[in-house]
Amino acid sequence: MTIAGVPFEVPAGTTLQQLCDTHSTPVVFGCRAAQCGACVIRVTSGKEHLSPPGDDEMNVLDVLGVDLDHRLACQCTVFGDVSLEVAE
The whole-number pLDDT of residue 88 equals: 78
Distance CA 49, CA 22 (A): 21
pLDDT at 67: 94
31-75: per-residue pLDDT in tens?
999 999 999 999 999 999 999 999 999 999 999 999 999 999 999
What's the pLDDT tens digit per position in 14-28?
999 999 999 999 999
> What is d(CA 17, CA 20) in angstroms, rounded to the nearest whole number?
5
How do the residues of the chain divide into helix, strand and coil, expressed in percent and rounded to 5?
A: 25, 25, 50
**What is the pTM (predicted TM-score) of this model?**
0.94
Alpha helices by DSSP H, the chain? 16-22, 55-64
Q: What is the largest CA-CA distance in the chain?
A: 32
